[in-house]
Amino acid sequence: MHLVTSLSTMCFQMKRGVLPFLCGVLVAGAFAVPTLTVADSNKNEEIYRQLGLFGDIFQRVRESYVDEVDEKDLIEAAINGMLTSLDPHSSFLNTENFSDMQVQTKGKFGGLGIEITMEKGVIKIVSPIDDTPAAKAGLQPEDYIIAVDGAAILGMALSEAVDKLRGEVGSKVTVTVQRAQDEPFDVTLTRDTIKIRSVRSKMFDGIGYLRITTFSEQTTPGLKDSVAKMFEDHGDNLKGFVLDLRNNPGGLLNQAIAVSDAFLEAGEIVSTRGRDPDNASRVYAKAGDIGRGLPLVVLINSGSASASEIVAGALKDHKRAVLLGTRSFGKGSVQSVIPLSGTGAMRLTTARYYTPSGISIQAKGITPDIEVALARIEKLEGGITREEDLKGALDKNIPQNAEANGQADDATTADAKPEDDQSKIDYQLARALDLIQGVSIFTKDKSPQ
């Protein structure tokens, strides 16, 4: 810090008893640099003048505000205002919020189960978390919460809005939701203890389905265990994997790196670059692909953010996976959580993420290789008509139905495996499964006989 010239002037300008700690901090920093340029001196003069203004306003509020205020709350609000003015992800965490954040990254916390950000002065849902009150109530990515229990959110800091959404487990909260251009509507949710099962897995006709809901400390071990179990149960019959990162709001950076590394044999996973180009960092994969080179499709959508985008970008750039779905959220900034002695922590944006090809994720997101919009598969009225159903069709009496050829008809297939119902209504997943089936058939046909 360049803090020598005009130090006495600044401290003198402050009213007695107002923010004495500021002067102490400045004095401590005054000996860091022995000389200053004229430009530095002028810049510091302006900084001191602004700090003096802050001290004056702080004192006026203490003395003249209509109600008595807590000085600690005032200073916390000022600090938080400074940080949130930088970007939506920088903020001050008091002791309670810092503790909540630490619990959340371990995969268990209380609340509604939504990842949120602030946009246009209101809360925007990045994504609901699977099997939480928010997901069960039907809240969706890109919904806006405009009021909580009838109180408007507009103009609140993100941390203040979060505090309104939090409460005791079992208590209810009503949120007013704005979805696209529809009329706002109210949703009443019961707060619950959110237990995140980071990895879920299922088999779809020889294809391993892996759903990662968030990147917590449980993610990589859960992923590796699921893949190992699939190989153990199905062996050479495995055709490939679908990695579902839709509505995954992110989480721990080291887990995103570990998941990417799990499917890559070599190469850069992600780089981070901040203000100082000399402090750029790059992370590389180690040998070993848990998928053993089998086809991999990654599902993403607008609710895939941060850590999800790192994984998707790395696997796409190395051509290890085909990305399918819609463009991701676009949160490509790095937040460093800096503990502050006895008062919580500061979350500060310190760098941007770049994919292995050098593309910034920030505000751009990851574009899928195959664009597939969200849709549901529904049966058409009237059933299916084929040539053999036409009156007077040639060779009509020759058995040509699907069962005679050892295959099930479309309608039969839908009921053949109840556990596969998800693939019958989830269009993006169905497309991913079809893609792997096609690659598997092509590869099998090309293999030596």
Sign (positive or negative) of CA dihedral 332, 338, 339, 345: negative
**Token match 């949710």: residue?**
189
317 noted as active-site residue: yes
260 noted as active-site residue: no
Q: Which of 22, 93, 25 is nearest to 58 (CA)?
A: 22
The conformation of residue 402, written as its DSSP 8-state character, comes to T
**277-281 contacts: CB < 8 A, separation 24 or more?**
none
Catalytic-role residue among 198, 226, 306, 308: 306
331 noted as active-site residue: yes
Catalytic-role residue among 143, 244, 261, 317: 317
Q: Which two tokens stand for residue 199?
A: 């990895």
C-alpha 428/C-alpha 325 separation (Å) is 6
Catalytic-role residue among 331, 333, 423, 426: 331
Are the C-beta atoms of 213 and 253 separated by less than 8 Å? no
Sign (positive or negative) of CA dihedral 42, 48, 52, 58: positive
C-alpha 128/C-alpha 125 separation (Å) is 7
Identity of the residue numbered 335:
Q
The conformation of residue 15, written as its DSSP 8-state character, comes to P
C-alpha 135/C-alpha 139 separation (Å) is 6
Are the C-beta atoms of 313 and 320 separated by less than 8 Å? no
Identity of the residue numbered 155:
G
Indicate the SS3 state at residue 194.
strand
- Cα distances (angstroms) measured from residue 203 to each of 21, 208, 235, 419: 61, 5, 13, 9
- Cα distances (angstroms) measured from residue 351 to each of 82, 90, 386: 18, 12, 59
Greatest alpha-carbon pair distance for the chain in Å reads: 105
User: Please, is 218 exposed, middle or buried when counting C-beta atoms within 10 Å of its C-beta (0-12, 13-18, 19+)?
Assistant: middle
Are the C-beta atoms of 153 and 121 separated by less than 8 Å? yes
The number of angstroms, rounded, from the C-alpha of 261 to the middle of its chain's C-alpha atoms is 19
- Cα distances (angstroms) measured from residue 218 to each of 34, 197, 231, 310: 50, 8, 20, 18
C-alpha 18/C-alpha 27 separation (Å) is 16
The number of angstroms, rounded, from the C-alpha of 29 to the middle of its chain's C-alpha atoms is 38
- Residues with a known catalytic role: 306, 317, 331
